[in-house]
Structure formats: structure tokens, C-alpha cells
Amino acid sequence: MQVLLQLGLSLVLLAPQYTTTAAAPSSQCQRQCGNVDIPYPFGIGVNCSLSKRFTINCTVQDGIHKPFRGDFEVLDISLTHATIRMLNYILGFCYNTSTRSMESVGRYGRRIQIRSGPSSPLRLSDARNKFTVIGCNALAFISDNDTGYQGLGVATCRDPLELVDGSCSGMGCSQTTIPNKIYNYEVGFSTFANTSRIWRFNRCSYAVLMEAAEFKFDVSYINTTKFNDTNAGRAPVVYDWAIRDVVRCDVARRNKTGTYACLSSNSKCVDSTNDQGYMCNCTHGYEGNPYLQDGCTDVNECNYNPCPSDGFCHNIIEEHWCSCRVGKRYVKQSNTCNPDTGFIIGVTMGLFGLMVFIVITIFWGQLIIQKRKLNKVKQEYFRQHGGLLLFDRMKSDKGLAFTVYSLAELIHATDNFDNSRILGKGGHGTVYKGIIKNMPIAVKRCALVDDRQKKEFGQEMLILSQINHKNIVKLLGCCLEVEVPILVYEFVPHGTLFELIHGKNHALQISFNTLLRIAHEAAEGLCFLHSYASPPIIHGDVKTSNILLDDNYMAKVSDFGASILAPSDKEQFVTMVQGTCGYLDPEYMQTCQLTEKSDVYSFGVILLEILTGQLPLKLKGSETQRSLSSIFLSAMKENNLDAVLVSHVKGEESMELLRGLADLAKKCLDMCGDNRPFMKEVADELNRLRKLSMHPWVRIDLEMDAESLLGGESTSGYEIELNGYPMGESENQPINPRSSYYAR
């Protein structure tokens, strides 16, 4: 049979139900009571706490402010641990020698009953509290009527002398753990175990639920009435608090009607481990109050001196890092600053790297500046040579078969003007073979160095490019980015008329009629040049080495384009004699004026070369014997043509043909230009003379030519796949690179 003392007072800690409010607490709220901080969600007064359940009373006791929840004095409130510590009342049970009965001692008499309710934020901390009983014949109970929990604390002793300070394991003292989720409980003593027999050395027994860490058994507790009859004293007890109106964090986050309490950024929600509900916490690296807007602030880890004393601490968001003085290195494992052996090497390498960097930067900078300069120069030349004008024309005339090449393109096409690519070299400059888009081309790089500006160059190139005749080498384009423009021609593969006449092997193999045909074709080409534009385009450097031969040994007059590079003003004329020795119009020597008749004179010399097989100028001969034309003219005068004719021609060709040719040549070589025939007349005469030839194979040759002449001067329907170049070389070195220009 068990008899419990039924008397006692009920304590109602918290009663009414409130919903959480979203409103942030006013900054006016009192956050301290006495020495105790009252952080939100707790607060002094309703409007300063999360809800009424979190309110604290700050009352004055003995002249000092003390925080209270109900009858229980609050010691401290922790946000990080979500605990609140309060002073609990110790229950005493003593033998009164005068009344000879057992009496309960303490504020609440024989039995302490604490009732809150499941809606209370507080739960007894099962981890930190223990039900502690002291006595030599004590039996105390703790029970929770709501959950049916019942616990007992028993302390006995035979001889008080056996007791040891600090030891609480049943001898004079016992500690019992409690389960979690406890909010109501009551404590009382069993009347069976009374101290009526042992009151001489142990008059009182004590029982209290208290913070285990705060208790240390002292033997004197047994034989002293520690307190008087109305007050057995108080001991701290720990409660876990949480927001209990929702079950867990996820529910709280989803609950639209409720208010989620974790307001601060960098805060997180933590499920309560002691019954339902949740708490808030600042995330790692932050500290402060997660229940307030922006309550969590970065932890300044440096305040805790985490770095070595001779190092430096640097606080950053969520973390910190340590550094050391120059020459020392921070070692994380030992948290010390050690001498840095790599430092010297590092510094050296760093300086070296910096130097390399600077050198490279300067190098590249120079390169870029030079490249910019070069581009500027290129653009300037392009502009000077009338490139812009040319571009305008090319834009408006889409069908124009003329290309403005970039210097880079030509460098690529000719292997950077490699010597192995040279086709010919002369006073005019050098001609290279190039390949562009699998098409062979002849690239003429003029040697002329002349600082004059030729504004019309582009325009003139355009006119020349439009000349489309089967007996004239086609000008494909030019490059204006250089000081002296580079000309690009079609490539003509089979050498020059010069080589045909004066070459070692050719003279015998090539028939006189073929030479005649070639001469006729060349005359047609020159005739076309003269008649193409007004004023006429004058070749200016007609000679056998400028008559190229294509696959079918058809004549192609070349090098007319270079004439454009010739000087145009009077002063320059004085020093720049035009043409090639031996071909030079004597009249031009006096007037310095090139005319179409100058070309006719030069062509007369070509006819002489064909007739005589001799070079136009013999450097070895005596003064009168040097010039082929003077030799020829004197022979004609003496009526001794045979003396100059090439030997294999004499017997084979009709005398009428040879005499006709000689007469034509003589007319062409007239000292007075006006007396010379026009190129048209020369061409017609050659055509007539060719028909005099009586050899059957010559006739075939003739028919072939007649056919090809059908397309003659038309500018369409005639296409050549292989292309040629406009310059030959010979023993007759040109005096200067000039060939012709428009007549003025």
C-alpha cells in the first residue's frame, strides 16, 4: 500500500493559447532584466516576445530586478542551445522532534506539482536534468500524470561515516534520469521511508529535479538542516524550448497561416529533438539572433584568436584565414608560422617572371606599332595610286575582270618573291611566276623608285585591263599597297620572239613564214592598242623580247602596262629616256615626245631582225656597223639587200616577199615620224605579203591564221587558259624601265 501526501500547490506555468505574430518586436523592448539577457523570441511583455508563451516577467525582489516565469526565477536564456535555465524549488521532508512527525519543508509544502501543457514551449531537458534525492532513508517519486511516467529516487545509508563527498550512487544520494517530452510533473516523498529513527544524524530528506552539472554531493547535507522549515532552497533546472505550434521545420515552412519564425538570412530551421516543434539557428560562420530580420551576422572568427600570435588573422564571410610575416609560411596543421624556404626561390622566380613579362610586352608592343605603321603606309600608297577611285569603278561595274591584289596575296603566290620564281629580269624590274587559286600568273615588280604620286594610276590600270585582244597579254590586276604598284598579268608560257630569232636552236627550226605570222600578229596587237583609246595608248618599248608566244606560238604583245609608271612631267623626261637602245625612235631622242609612230619605228627594227636574223645593236661592231637599222638602210641605199638578209631565207623565199618586207621596214624606219605608216597600214601590208608565200604548208598556216583572225579584234569569246608575262630580257638592256605612255 502506498500513501501519497495529497496536499500541495499546483503551479500553472503557462496557460492560454496564442498564435504567433509576424510583427517584429519593437526596438524599444527591454532586453535585459537584472543581469539576465532576454533575447527574442522571449520578451518582457506580450508585444516584445514571439507570443505570450514566450513572455518573461521582470520583477523587483529585494531591490533588484529578476526575471520570472511564474514563480520560477530565470537564470539565463540560450538561443544557440535553445535552453532556458530556471531555479527549481527543493522539496524537504523532515522529522519534527517536538511534534514527532514528518513534515514537508519548502515553498510548496509536501508536494511540488508543475503543470504547463503541450502548447508550452518548454520541455524538461532529459539530457541535462536528473531527479536528485538526498537522505539515509529517503524514497521520493517523480511522475507525469499525462504520460503515465513514474520515477523513483532512493537514498539510504547505514553509517554516515561511510559517505563520500562527490559520490552520488545511492549511498546518501541518488540521481535518476528522466525521459524526454515531459512538461508536467509532480514530486513527493513516500511516508514509509521516514527519518523518525535516524533523526539524530539525519533529520531531513531532500528531493529535486535539477541540472546534473550543478550538483555535487556533500556529506554535510545529511546531518544539517540545510534550510529552515519554510525554505528548503532552490536549484537550477534546464528546459529545452522550441516553437511548438507546428510539428517540424518542413511543416512550418509550408504553413501559410502560421508565421515562420526563422526570419534572418543565413539562418536555418532545426527540428526539435525534445518533442514536436522547431528552432532556428544561424548557419555556419554566422552568429546572432536567427529569429530577427538580419539577426545573423558574420562571425568575426579573429575575435577568438584562431591564428598564431606572430601571424595575422583575416576575417572573411563565414570564415577566416591566417597569414604570416613576409618570409614565413602559415602551417595549418600546427597553426604556426614557419620559416618559408620556398620564399627566396619564389621571390627570385617572381622577379625573373616579371622581367620576362616586361620584355615580351615591349617586344609585342613594338611589333604591333610596326605593323600599324606598315598598314598605314600601305593604305597611304593605296590612296596615292588611286586605289579608292579604282574601287569605286569596280563597285559600279560588276562585270569588270580586274583584281586589286593585296600585297600579302602576292607574297603568298610568289613564295615571298623567291628567286626560283623569277621568269625574267630587266631594267624595268623583275617578273615572277606566281600561282593564285591554281592559276599561273606573272607578277611584275617594277624596279622604278620614284616618289611622284600617280593619282590616276588606278584609273589607267582600269583602261589597260579592259584591253582584250588575242595578241595582247592580258592585265589581270595590280597591287597598290606598295610604293611602286605591282602588275599582275596572264602567264604566257612559250618565251619571246627574241628567243625565237636569236636563240641558239630556234632559228633553223622556225620557218620564215611563222616569223612573218608572228610579226603580223604583233602588228595587229599594236594596231589595236593604238586604236583602242583616244589619245592612243602607246606601247613605248616595242621589241622582240616584248613579244611573247603562247602555246600555239601566237604572238602576245606585252609590257604596255609598265608605261604608266613612266614620268609624266617635263623635268623627269629629261633624265628618263624611254625605250630600248637599237629600237629607239630617233625623233623621240630629239623631242622627248613618244608618239604612236615611235612604236612604228621600233616595229620596223623587229622586221629587220626577222629579215636579217641580227641583233638590233651590235656592241662589238664599228660605230657605223653598230646599229642594225643603219646597216640595213645603207644596204638598201646601195641596193645590196642580199648582203644583210639571213642566209637561209635568201634562197627559199620569193624575192618579191623579201623586197616587200624590206620596203615596209624602210618606211617604218623613216627618220621623220610623219612619213612612217600607221600601225594599221603595217599590219595590212604584212597580211598582204604573207599571201605571196607560195609554199603549200604556208597556205595551211595561213588558213589557220585566217580562222583565228576571225575572232581578231573582237573583245569577246576569246579566252586563254595559260597566261603570260610582259617582259623579256635581251642583250639590248633597256636604258630605263620606261616603255610608253599616252601621247601628249
Positions in the binding site for ligand NAG (CB under 6 A): 19-20, 45-47, 55, 57, 68-70, 80, 82, 96, 98-99, 101-102, 145, 160-161, 191-192, 194, 196, 219-220, 223-224, 227-231, 245-246, 251, 255, 257-258, 270, 279, 281
Q: Cα-Cα-Cα-Cα dihedral of 513, 517, 520, 525, to 10°?
A: -160
471 φψ region: left (φ > 0), alpha (ψ -120 to 50), beta (else): alpha
Q: Name the residue nearer to ligand NAG (CB basis): 92 or 673.
A: 92
d(CA 726, CA 724) in angstroms, rounded, equals 7
- β-pairing, 403-404 vs 475-479, is parallel
Q: Pick the closer one to ligand NAG by CB: 14 or 600.
A: 14
Rounded least distance, CB 335 to ligand NAG, Å: 21
- Name which of 106 and 613 has its Cβ closer to ligand NAG: 106
User: Residue 676: helix, strand or coil by DSSP?
Assistant: coil
Nearer to ligand NAG, 269 or 605 (CB): 269
Q: Which is nearer to ligand NAG, 18 or 215 (CB)?
A: 18
> Does residue 667 have a known ligand-binding role?
no
Tell me if the bond preceding 41 is cis, omega within 30° of 0: yes
Report yes or no: 234 and 90 within 8 Å, Cβ to Cβ.
yes
Cβ proximity to ligand NAG, 266 vs 546, nearer residue: 266
Closest distance between ligand NAG and the C-beta of residue 46, in Å? Answer: 5
How large is the angle between the packed helices 679-692 and 655-668, nearest 10 degrees?
170
Residue nearest to ligand NAG (CB): 258
Question: Least distance in Å: CB of 153 to ligand NAG?
Answer: 18
Q: Cell numbers 642583250 label which residue?
A: 731
DSSP 476-541: EEEE-SSSS-EEEEE---S-BHHHHHHSTTHHHHS-HHHHHHHHHHHHHHHHHHHHHSSSPPP-S-
* Residue closer to ligand NAG (CB basis): 278 or 512: 278
CB of 79 to ligand NAG, least distance (A): 8
Is residue 449 within 8 A of residue 565, CB to CB? The reply is no
Enumerate the β-bridge partners of residue 155. 138
Interior/surface letters 175-190, b for 16+ CB within 10 angstroms, e for the rest? beebeebbbbbbbbbb
Which residues fall within 8 angstroms of residue 256, CB to CB, at 6 or more apart? none
160 vs 503, which CB is nearer to ligand NAG?
160
* Residue 142 beta carbon to ligand NAG: minimum distance, rounded to whole angstroms: 13
- Give me the helices (H) in 308-386, please: 342-384
Rg over CA atoms, the chain: 61
> In the bound complex, what is the minimum distance in angstroms from residue 127's beta carbon to ligand NAG?
12
Dihedral sign of CA atoms 246, 250, 251, 253 in order: positive
Q: Are 306 and 317 in contact (CB under 8 A)?
A: no
Residue 369 Ramachandran class (φ > 0 left, ψ -120 to 50 alpha, else beta): alpha
CB of 248 vs ligand NAG, minimal distance in Å: 9
Q: Are 75 and 236 in contact (CB under 8 A)?
A: yes
Partner residues linked to 55 by β-bridges: 43
Report the 10 Å Cβ neighbour count for 483: 14
Angle CA 462–464–466, to nearest 5: 75
Residues taking part in catalysis: 541
Give the nearer residue to ligand NAG in terms of CB position, either 224 or 715.
224
What CA–CA distance (Å, rounded) separates 476 from 467? Answer: 10
User: Cβ 125 to ligand NAG, closest distance in Å?
Assistant: 12
Output the smallest distance, CB 319 to ligand NAG, in A.
14
Residues making up the binding site for ATP: 444
Residues making up the binding site: 444
